[in-house]
Amino acid sequence: MTKKAIDDTNFSLFDDLSVEPIDSQDLEKTKERMRALEKDLERWNYEYYVLDAPSVPDSEYDKAFQELSDLEKKYPQLKSAASPTERVGGAARSDLAKVKHAVPMLSIHTETDFEAEGARAFDDRVRKGLGLSESDPEVEYDVELKFDGLAMNLRYEKGVLVSAATRGDGLVGEDVTANVKTIRTVPLQLPADVPEVLEVRGEVIMHKADFERLNDEQKMEGHKPFVNPRNAAAGCLRQLDPKVTAKRKLSFYAYGLGEVSAPLALTHSGTLDCLQKWGFPVASQRRVVKGWKALAEFHDWVKSIRQTLPFEIDGVVYKVNSLAEQNELGFISREPRWACAHKYPPEEALTVVEDIDVQVGRTGKLTPVARLKPVFVGGVTVSNATLHNEDFIAELGLKIGDTVVVRRAGDVIPEVVRVLPERRTGAEKDFVMPDHCPVCGSETFRDEEEKDTRCTGGLFCPAQRRESLVHFASRLALNIDGLGEKVIDQLLEAGLIQTPADLYRITEEKLLTLERFGKKSAANLVEAIEKSKETTLARFIYALGIRHVGESTARDLAQHFRSLNVLMSADAEALLKVNDVGEVIAQSIIHFFEEPHNRHVIENLVDLGVHWPTPEASAVNDLVSGKTFVLTGTLPSMGREEAKALLLAQGAKVASSVSKKTDYVVAGAEAGSKLEKAQALGVAVIDEAKMLEMLKGAQ
């Protein structure tokens, strides 16, 4: 993506003002615009550098900065003496002592093209600067990560760390020696053979894992979390109390030198090797390469491993490797001509939530989705972001029309991370979760436990249709042989079915019109569907796919109510009497049967011949009912499945592992670890004969 393309996709928050001035009225407008930009930039600068709490993403700052610099170039007469473009870095904080850098801490040129062109442009300039022609060999470069942290100058005298200073405005920084000494990887004492004066430059960063830990703590203690690792690192570094810094883990990576009384090597890579040997952390992702294609390859490679790095980077840095060539190239204004930063597209950007739509998933979950004013972020143009659920929106404090920060890192789906309430105009609207499904119109309900809102349309809702049909036909439900996902998809596509009731209207003739169906397979499927009409109440209830009603709850409900009509009219009080049915399950059942569409499908199923015998009323056998059994080993007269069925039929629970909650372990021949565990926990162990005796208690 070229810079031009990015500018085209990035919308400007000030579209109305970015016009070409032609007359004095427009000039006046431009002046206003420049003053407004200055004001914004100064405020953001202050938030960023002094408060360590930026309110806008860097990309927004950069954009405004660029706009102001461009205007200043075009209309120098309108430039104010105190323009933020005059600054490099922030004003030194007054409460930390100032340090004048022996050698200024420069910034480097940033290539604006995120693609290979950026690498080629840099190499071109270098070759030109060195007076090389096309036939001359490729230039050698040292290539490194561009750490997203804070530049640091560490001064060693006679091998002892005497000062650590931030970059500040490049000439004067802040003394943070006490805090930097708490960074475990910064050597306090160097080997004997180092130059008398040695300034090592590098970046102080916070690893992603340490950042997450710190933010968890911040939240737990009721403090505001940090926006990103770099700001957390800045906050920690400028702490006035080093004990606080010591608790928050910072890291340091060396990438160059400041003042030195003797050079360490003839190349930049040799210098880094030397620093590494003396105990400085140097990132292992550095290479020595030749020519612009290799620069671009490194840029691509780092992009592919970026997410796996333990810290954040915002690009790569290319440096001419030979120090002699570096000298020859020298500097332009405040930037060396021998180095450049080649960044990746910003991962955060500002945009506006134009609307919030609601999508219905295959399980009936309603997901609010932010419709964004398209914005270029993380290398793509993003126009949607999931908002997960109502609580997520409430936590963000998001309203429709809000200006938000959108983040897209790597291949991760875009997220709305922050709202900028200060940008509100008053026209923003609250989002309300719909009380009816936007797809089928059925009522929705909130599942408190899962914090989700769900459609009650179940069997009827087109969004959930496929899932409910697959479930309906599955083995433990109506067990329709040969009716798997593929066939269901085929039937849905052909418009032969919509709800489970339609299955019973399918004929061989209709199936024969479909691909892959022959006479035999069509006849088989129709027969399997016909066979499924004869079922049990428990299977039928399970087949309805009521949320939270699994196979065992369906069995309990069938046993308890013995009639579908009674179950359908049961209120919460009645439902709560059923084994293992709590408030959540009861509400889910009530919502399901309240929905007229669901009742309608059930009615159709019964009309089309689905039937079941009334379950036997069972006198409760207290010896077994409600007790938990575990079956282990080989039983003498029956398989474990059979024994399980007998126990379940009398209201027992059959678990697969032994715990303190187990009432009985039924052990057969060659019982192993489960028996041992039962003995260890003091759980009663019985044999098959004893189990059968207990089961008889019911008759």
C-beta of residue 382 within 8 angstroms of C-beta of residue 406:
yes
Stretch that binds ligand IVH, among 62-70, 115-123, 145-153, 238-246 (CB under 6 A): 145-153
And the tokens for 122? 């840099």
Question: Distance (Å, rounded) from C-alpha 164 to C-alpha 368?
Answer: 49
**508: exposed, middle or buried (C-beta count within 10 Å: 0-12, 13-18, 19+)?**
middle
DSSP string, 5-51: HHHHHSPPTTGGG-----SHHHHHHHHHHHHHHHHHHHHHHIIIIIS
In the complex with ligand IVH, which residue's Cβ is closer, 170 or 374?
170
Distances (CA, A) of 608 to 501, 505, 531: 7, 8, 13
The yes or no reply on residue 106 touching ligand IVH (CB under 6 A) is: yes
- Binds ligand IVH (CB under 6 A): choice among 44, 49, 61, 147: 147
Instruction: Phi first, then psi: give them for residue 369, nearest 5 degrees.
Output: -125, 130
The yes or no reply on residue 144 touching ligand IVH (CB under 6 A) is: yes
- Binds ligand IVH (CB under 6 A): choice among 69, 107, 112, 218: 107
Q: With H, G, I as helix, E, B as strand and everything else as coil, classify residue 164.
A: strand
The yes or no reply on residue 146 touching ligand IVH (CB under 6 A) is: yes
Stretch that binds ligand IVH, among 104-112, 157-165, 572-580, 592-600 (CB under 6 A): 104-112
- Binds ligand IVH (CB under 6 A): choice among 159, 291, 336, 401: 336
In the complex with ligand IVH, which residue's Cβ is closer, 152 or 478?
152
Identify which of 531, 532, 530, 557 has the alpha carbon closest to the alpha carbon of residue 542. Answer: 557
The yes or no reply on residue 108 touching ligand IVH (CB under 6 A) is: yes
Catalytic member of 79, 100, 146, 660: 146
Neighbours of 373 (CB within 10 A): 16
Closest residue to ligand IVH: CB criterion? 151
The yes or no reply on residue 203 touching ligand IVH (CB under 6 A) is: yes
Q: With H, G, I as helix, E, B as strand and everything else as coil, classify residue 69.
A: helix
Q: With H, G, I as helix, E, B as strand and everything else as coil, classify residue 584.
A: helix
Q: Cα–Cα–Cα angle for 92, 98, 102, nearest 5°?
A: 110
Distances (CA, A) of 140 to 273, 296, 327: 16, 14, 14
CA diameter of the chain: 104
Instruction: For the CB of residue 172, give the shortest distance to ligand IVH in the complex, in Å.
Output: 15
- Binds ligand IVH (CB under 6 A): choice among 6, 194, 320, 339: 339
Q: What is the distance, to the nearest Å, from the Cα of residue 517 to the centroid of all Cα atoms in its chain?
A: 44
Stretch that binds ligand IVH, among 142-150, 389-397, 414-422, 586-594 (CB under 6 A): 142-150
In the complex with ligand IVH, which residue's Cβ is closer, 24 or 333?
333
Identify which of 589, 611, 609, 575 has the alpha carbon closest to the alpha carbon of residue 458. Answer: 589
In the complex with ligand IVH, which residue's Cβ is closer, 106 or 686?
106
The yes or no reply on residue 258 touching ligand IVH (CB under 6 A) is: no
- Looking up tokens 């070759």 gives 127
146 included as an active-site residue: yes
Question: Distance (Å, rounded) from C-alpha 80 to C-alpha 72?
Answer: 9
In the complex with ligand IVH, which residue's Cβ is closer, 118 or 364?
118
Instruction: For the CB of residue 301, give the shortest distance to ligand IVH in the complex, in Å.
Output: 15
The yes or no reply on residue 234 touching ligand IVH (CB under 6 A) is: no
Instruction: For the CB of residue 149, give the shortest distance to ligand IVH in the complex, in Å.
Output: 7
* Total residues interacting with ligand IVH, rule: CB under 6 A: 14
175-179: list long-range contacts, CB under 8 Å, 24+ apart: 175/96, 175/97, 175/98, 175/99, 176/96, 176/152, 176/237, 176/238, 178/242, 178/245, 179/236, 179/237, 179/238, 179/239, 179/242, 179/245
In the complex with ligand IVH, which residue's Cβ is closer, 255 or 592?
255
- Binds ligand IVH (CB under 6 A): choice among 143, 151, 302, 575: 151
In the complex with ligand IVH, which residue's Cβ is closer, 282 or 487?
282
The yes or no reply on residue 255 touching ligand IVH (CB under 6 A) is: yes
In the complex with ligand IVH, which residue's Cβ is closer, 272 or 685?
272
Instruction: For the CB of residue 263, give the shortest distance to ligand IVH in the complex, in Å.
Output: 16
Catalytic residues: 146
Binding site for ligand IVH (CB under 6 A): 106-108, 144-147, 151, 203, 255-256, 317, 336, 339
